[in-house]
Amino acid sequence: MLLQELAAASGCSTASIKYYRREGLLPPGTRLTATRQEYGTRHLERLELIRVLREMADAPIPRIRRLSALLDDPAVPLIAALEEAQAITLGADVEPAGGERPRDEHPSVAVMLERLGWPDIDSVPRRALDALVRTLESWEMPSDPETLLHYAEPMSRIAQRELEYLRMGSAAGQEPSDDAVVLRAVSGTIAFDRLVHVLRALGHTSLSVQASELPRE
């Protein structure tokens, strides 16, 4: 499809598409002439990813450019792009993959990982959890391993189901592209995080109402 057709199919203006190309967010199309390029499904998926990152994650252009560079480099494994996407949705800076965990990490984090049988490796979410646990502790809220496990154990089951969704192919059995996997990861994280917040609030309300209806002795 040509530029105008890509704009119509994606819902992005031609000006936005040209801007994303200049900023390195969108890979070039197949050149037809000196002034015309042909675009395909890959470009549609990238534009949808950019839209979600901008509108749902409020991601700045430099962060999207870094993620795009990872996706466009065939030598970079998908997990690196997913880690960058996680960092964007968590609001954290990406640390080098495979590094050593901070020596002053809160002890509850390592204990929780061991109890769950999760790998003892450095990652963006692990560093984000360390920072959050320290915040809980500073607020004099529970930050012990049992508290973390109380939340982590059900989340382990939820995460397993979400990982299956990330790699779910099409009805024709076609594997999703890397852009599609990252898009699912970003949009799913934001949407299901919201779902958890709403369900927790509903639980608080419902249980409070039930408690208030109990007969008093």
Q: Encode pLDDT of 49-72 as tens digits.
A: 999 999 988 999 999 999 999 999
Across the range 72-78, mean pLDDT stands at 94
Contact in structure between 192 and 95 (CB atoms under 8 Å): no
pLDDT of 6 strictly over 70: yes
Confidence of residue 94 (pLDDT cuts 50, 70, 90): low
- Among the listed ranges 87-91, 99-103, 126-130, 191-195, which one has the minimum average pLDDT value? 99-103
pLDDT of 171 strictly over 60: no
The number of residues making up the chain comes to 217
Q: What is the pLDDT of residue 106?
A: 94
Q: What is the pLDDT of residue 169?
A: 65
Q: How far apart are CA 129 and CA 118, in angstroms?
A: 14
pLDDT of 172 strictly over 60: no
Q: What is the pLDDT of residue 216?
A: 62
pLDDT of 193 strictly over 70: yes
Mean pLDDT, the chain, whole residue set:
88
Alpha helix ranges (H) inside 37-177: 41-55, 61-72, 78-90, 107-116, 124-138, 145-166
pLDDT of 170 strictly over 80: no
What is the token pair recorded at 119?
Answer: 């790998």
User: Count of domains in the chain?
Assistant: 1
Domain of 122 in residue numbering reads as 3-213
Q: Is 88 exposed, middle or buried (0-12, 13-18, 19+ CB in 10 A)?
A: buried
Q: Nearest Cα to 78, choosing from 162, 172, 183?
A: 183
Q: How far apart are CA 109 and CA 128, in angstroms?
A: 11
What is the token pair recorded at 34?
Answer: 């000196």
